[in-house]
Amino acid sequence: GGDFAQKIDYVFKVVLVGDSAVGKSQLLARFARNEFSLESKATIGVEFQTKTLIIDHKTVKAQIWDTAGQERYRAVTSAYYRGAVGAMLVYDMTKRQSFDHMSRWLEELRAHADKNIIIMLIGNKCDLGTLRAVPTEDAQEFAERENLYFMETSALQATNVESAFMTVLSELYRVIS
């Protein structure tokens, strides 16, 4: 009903990028609905979810886009990136290759998204610490060189997921306010 319609002060489009199976959809499910599934299906069709937050007494709507199972190189269309002001660049810390691909995802992102985009590098699946294939220092070094935020997360255990999204959203808010 209109009576309780919320006034939205800002809408921020944030995109999830990275190889297939790194946990993008589960990070989004955890952040948007506090859900997690071990039998996550490849996302079909372009999909986004929204989460409305209050930052500094203002209503901020995060519109978070998830890839439609198009994670092969250059298969993600430019429409996906268009208007994105934030991005979560996700690798699986147990899969070295998914980290090695970060530079090409970053290149694609920078070619298509807003030039002042705020980017968070995410090493997901930190609950599988014994299988780690990417040292924290390697990711930190890459993040510093490329001017990205960096966190290790677990969508499964809800570690740092809220914090990773909130860092990007607060920074977006800070920049425009």
Strands (E), 18-57: 47-55
Q: 142 with 102: CB under 8 angstroms?
A: yes
Indicate which single residue of 10, 20, 112, 149 sits in contact with ligand GDP (rule: CB under 6 A): 20
Binding pattern for the stretch 105-134 against ligand GDP, x by CB under 6 A and - elsewhere: -------------------xx-xx------
How far apart are CB 61 and ligand GDP at their closest, in Å? 22
Q: 84 with 118: CB under 8 angstroms?
A: no
Instruction: Based on the shown chain and the rule CB under 5 A, indicate whether residue 25 belongs to the binding site for Mg ion.
Output: yes
Of the candidates 115, 66, 73, which has an alpha carbon nearest to the alpha carbon of residue 88? 66
Question: For helices 136-146 and 102-112, what crossing angle results, to 10°?
Answer: 20
Q: Cα 159 from chain centroid?
A: 14
Which position's Cβ is nearest ligand GDP? 23
Tell me which of ligand GDP, Mg ion, none is bound by residue 154, counting a contact when its beta carbon lies within the kind-specific cut-off of 5 to 8 angstroms.
ligand GDP
**Interface positions with ligand GDP (CB under 6 A):** 20-26, 37-38, 40, 124-125, 127-128, 154-156
